[in-house]
Structure 1
Amino acid sequence: MTSLLEDTLSLFSLFQVKGPGVGLLGFSKGGDLCLSMASFLKGITATVLINSCVANTITPLHYKDMIIPSLGSDPGKCLKTDSGVWIYMGFWDNPLEEPNYHSIIPLERAQGPFLFIVGMDDHGWKSDFYAQIIASERLEAHGKDRPQIIYYPGTGHCIEPPYFPVCRTSVHTVLGQPILHGGEPKAQSWAQVDAWQQIQTFFRKHLNGKKICTV
């Protein structure tokens, strides 16, 4: 099976990638993929995760001779609202419990710092738990600096770029079901603007130090 991470190595040689360091920005499932890239590939200077899990999810991850299994799940723990929208907060098992511990991505191997963007009203992932209890404490236990974590009260799963319409529900591409993302419109809109600035500041600090255009 061809490794997704190995395929990504070829992207670093594209002329659009200035280097020498590369910054990663991942949202939801894309976040744990970015964590895996930062943990196993060289040249990753800074990584930003928006409402992401710190364990591998959905499908086993293959890299060289190693396989990180997918985090276990229990669809029976999901809730369905009166309007027919699903809440998947309880879908995933606890990564800290066996046998799920082996699905945690070894982010302590990463060379660069992390920024976690956390929506406190995220109805899809336990984003606060993943960032604080697992990522931050795991890094500290391995003698690494704690990640920067920014919390946004009243903010749901989909923290998109500024002025995008607030997305509280949508049909999940993999699950094929309408799911609730959470978030209040005012808090969500403010978080999108502020997070965009915070992300640029983080990359500006840890990449080449040059000014990045803002909206």
Structure 2
Amino acid sequence: MIGLAATPEVSLADEPVRIRAWGLPPQTAITLRAWVRDEKGDIFHSRAFYQTDTEGKVDLEQSEATGGDFRGIYPMGLFWALKPTTPYRRLIKWDVMGSPFLVHLELYPSVLLVPSEDHLPAVTTVVERWYVAPGVQRLQVRDGRVRGALFLPPGEGPFPGVIEMFGGLGGLLEFRSSLLASRGFACLALAYSAYEDLPKFMPTVDLTYFEEAAQFLLRNPKVSGDGVGVVAVCKAAEIALCMASYLPQVQATVCINGTNAVNGNFLTYGNISIEGIPYQIERAQTTHSGAMQLSFTLQDPRKPEYQDCILPIERARGPVLFCVGDKDQNYDSLFFANEALARARKKGKQNVYLRRYPGAGHLLEPPGSPFCPVSQSPFFPLPLMWGGELVPHCTAQETCWREMRDFLHSNLAPGTKSKL
């Protein structure tokens, strides 16, 4: 009898899954297919071809994919390669508390070059991929001006506190915060535009809003110490570096594919007012597929007229970790991180670190997240290029997630010196 197993059947979305098949003819080509339906009803799917061994078995921890969406030994390849049936959609978990993603795995005892509804799998199984561990609490945040969601791990604590933000598209994404809370952090998913009563666009980065968010988090009795960590990507990584440079509450900062200067918006904080470097949208490029690459729209902060826009990273209270994909097509994030690192060294600040991930693109997300090189944006008429290559990008997601958590744990413990 043909069998197919995925273990564990229920897991957190950042945990690996082992996939095995048995009961097949020896030395036979088969197809393994995965698919998941998101909360909007869109289907994401992947497939790979394998050769059974002499006992008629396949184990993705040992068996090599001979073709399909990837080649090689990649136990999580079917999860990495999930791509939208409708072009340019991005797989995002919105309701992290109420339900998991149900990933369907199917085995076909032949090579399916062109799958159709006429092909029926020999055996199927389903795995649950949760974005929150049992016992994690989610608290809606409406405190003064601050809007977001606070995730608290189970237990009395206290826990290291982290503010987590996504890029400039606005709204509130919670899946990284809920997973960080599942790993022992009190994590505030912070919105700053296009959410509830917040403005749709953010012409000015008012740093006092983010300071109020840090103060709110530190007031919680389950949050340890007198400082918070910040984790952010894209435009929010720029804001995170602003926070690190000016706010005394920020103790450790992770900037994922961001910049080293104020771009586009004004920055205000007390008597500080910085006019951002203007975007040059006329330098946007379009690809053969009709997507748009924005990396050329950000100007060089080394120009004399933009020196005042560069963020004074040397003023940061604590360490800063830059995580960058060198195939990022949204920002030239490696250049910006190197500039920040050079400034820090020149000014005598040693606890600034750069992690470069070869082949990775812009959207470095938790492990197991599908590779998304391009997706539609609500604020642009064309899809945006994020860049990267499937295997190196998804491998980088595993490394980045581990290094980021280790960095935060090490540097948010009371009384610790900065370390990586």
TM-score (norm 2): 0.47
1:206 maps to 411
RMSD: 1.8
Matched, 1:149 2:354: yes
Is the 2:318–2:351 contact (alpha carbons within 8 Å) kept by the matching residues of 1?
no
Give the drift of 1:126. Answer: 0.9
1:212 maps to which residue? none
Distance in structure 2 (CA, Å) of the matches to 1:69 and 1:58: 8
Pairwise CA distance, 1:118: 0.9
Match of 2:251 among 25, 39, 45: 45
- Structure with more contact order per residue of length (Cα contacts < 8 Å, sep ≥ 6): 1
1:114 aligned residue (317, 320, 325): 320
Point out the structure with the larger helix share.
1
C-alpha separation in 1, matches of 2:305 and 2:251: 31
**Alpha-carbon distance in structure 2 between the residues aligned to 1:159 and 1:142:** 29
The alpha-carbon deviation at position 32 of structure 1 amounts to 1.0
Percent of pairs with identical residues: 31
Counterpart residue type for residue 333 of structure 2: S
Per-residue CA deviation, residues 170-192 of structure 1 (Å, 9 max, x unaligned), is 23344453110001111111111
Counterpart of 1:129? 335
Alpha carbons 1:5, 1:63 under 8 Å: kept: no
- The answer for unaligned runs of 5 or more in structure 2 is 1-203, 415-420
Matches for 1:47-86 after TM superposition, within 5 Å: 47-86=253-292
Residue 375 of structure 2 aligns to a residue whose secondary structure is strand
Output the CA distance in 1 between the equivalents of 2:212 and 2:334. 31
In structure 2, the CA distance between the partners of 1:19 and 1:171, relative to structure 1 (3 Å rule), is farther
Q: Is the 8 A contact 2:214 2:249 kept in 1?
A: no
TM-score by length of 1: 0.89
Name the CA distance, whole Å, in 2 between partners of 1:89 and 1:35.
19
Runs of 5+ consecutive residues of structure 1 not aligned to the other structure = 210-215
Q: Is the 1:31–1:50 Cα contact (8 Å) retained in structure 2?
A: yes
Residue-by-residue CA offset, 1:31-61 (whole Å, 9 max, x unaligned): 1111111111113211111101111123111
Q: Which of 300, 304, 307 matches 1:94?
A: 300
Q: Please, which of 23, 36, 56 is the counterpart of residue 229 of structure 2?
A: 23
Where 2:370 maps in the other structure, the secondary structure is coil
Q: Which has the higher strand share?
A: 2
Match of 1:184 in 2: 389
Alignment-mate amino acid for residue 172 of structure 1: S
Residues 17-43 of structure 1: CA deviation (Å, up to 9, x unaligned): 322231111111111111111111113
